[in-house]
Amino acid sequence: MEKKESEDFGPHDVGAMPSTNKEQIFDLIQSHPEGLDDDDISELSGVRPRQQVQQLCNQLAAVDRIRRASVSKAGKRRKIHNFPVEPSDAPFGGAEASWRRRLANLAAATGLPEEVLLDRALEALALKVLADSVDTY
């Protein structure tokens, strides 16, 4: 399939749905188990400024999709590196990462904050449970 270069998303398949910067960064981190610092991610992904990479990585770490840790390298100052979350690191294994990724995608698609989507989902579930309990009596 023909590849096309896009300023916003980097190389991708023509006709494929472009990913968000957050998903692009997440995928990049998953492919580098040795860890990447924010400067590396900015350079490899084309996401700029680097501060945007830092913000997106902090968001991913806040929902346990990646792990951020300070790493020192010989002759260099300590820097925060981003690592994939191992299934053993996640409290519920891959299941939690899966629903968190779906929630992040839904938030990106709708433009609604994750908290609002979770509140709406909980309300809809509560109404369904109540309706089901009334129907059984």
What's the per-residue H, E or C state across the chain? CCEECCCCCCCEECCCCCCCHHHHHHHHHHCCCCCEEHHHHHHHHCCCCHHHHHHHHHHHHHCCCEEEEEECCCCCCCEEEEEECCCCCCCCCHHHHHHHHHHHHHHHHHCCCHHHHHHHHHHHHHHHHHHHHHHCC
Residue 38 is predicted with a pLDDT of: 96
Residue 11 is predicted with a pLDDT of: 43
Q: Domain spans of the chain? A: 3-85
79 has which bridge partners?
71
CA separation for the pair 70, 38 (Å, rounded)? 12
**Closest-CA residue to 33 (of 114, 87, 91):** 87
CA separation for the pair 27, 25 (Å, rounded)? 5
Q: Print pLDDT tens along the chain (137 aa).
A: 343 444 443 444 444 455 799 999 999 999 999 999 999 999 999 999 999 999 999 999 999 899 999 988 777 788 999 999 876 555 555 666 677 777 877 877 788 888 898 999 999 999 999 988 887 66
CA separation for the pair 41, 82 (Å, rounded)? 9
Query: Checking DSSP bridges between strand 66-71 and strand 12-13, what pairing results, if any?
Result: unpaired
Residue 81 is predicted with a pLDDT of: 95
With a threshold of 0.75, does the pTM exceed it?
no
Answer yes or no: CATH 3.90.1010.10 is held by domain 3-85: no
